[in-house]
Amino acid sequence: AQSVTQLDSQVPVFEEAPVELRCNYSSSVSVYLFWYVQYPNQGLQLLLKYLSGSTLVKGINGFEAEFNKSQTSFHLRKPSVHISDTAEYFCAVSDRGSTLGRLYFGRGTQLTVWP
């Protein structure tokens, strides 16, 4: 079974500062990797995903993530955050080529951006 660890449950930062949200996973098979964002009282929205190819993936709202296979990590970064980035962020993995369509989620990281 897969497991996903988001190393920080809360990350407070000031506006315009850079941020990194960390995600590690464990898997015995190749995986697809995802970052989702959840704004207050809303559903989950896809930020970016890694399926194959370049290990640096760019997503919406200026976010990017880098897949590191040797370290089994998929950290999310943004060079300069805005107040509107305040939200909860979830890292998730699925088995590449799986016929089950299952996603395994981390517990989430609450990003709070202060003015």
Partner 1 sequence: NAGVTQTPKFQVLKTGQSMTLQCAQDMNHEYMSWYRQDPGMGLRLIHYSVGAGITDQGEVPNGYNVSRSTTEDFPLRLLSAAPSQTSVYFCASSYRDDTQYFGPGTRLTVL
> Residue 115 and residue 13: Cα distance in Å, rounded?
9
Q: Is 8 in the site for partner 1 (CB under 8 A)?
A: no
Burial class (CB in 10 A: 0-12, 13-18, 19+), 23: buried
Q: Which is nearer to partner 1, 26 or 80 (CB)?
A: 26
Tokens standing for residue 34: 């995802």
Fill in the DSSP letter of residue 58. E
The two structure tokens encoding residue 25? 């996973």
Per-residue x/- marks for partner 1, 55-84, CB under 8 A? ------------------------------
Please report how close the Cβ of residue 80 comes to partner 1 at its closest, in angstroms.
Answer: 26
Beta-carbon contacts of 107 under 8 Å, excluding residues fewer than 6 positions away, are 6, 9
Q: From 17-25, 61-69, 72-80, 90-98, give the range in contact with partner 1 by CB under 8 A.
A: 90-98
Interface stretch with partner 1, choices 13-21, 28-36, 57-65, 72-80 (CB under 8 A): 28-36
Among the listed residues 40, 43, 53, 115, the single contact to partner 1 using CB under 8 A: 43
CA geometry: angle 8, 21, 87, nearest 5 deg: 85
Which positions lie near partner 1, rule CB under 8 A?
6, 9, 32, 34, 36, 42-46, 49, 51, 90, 94-103, 105-108
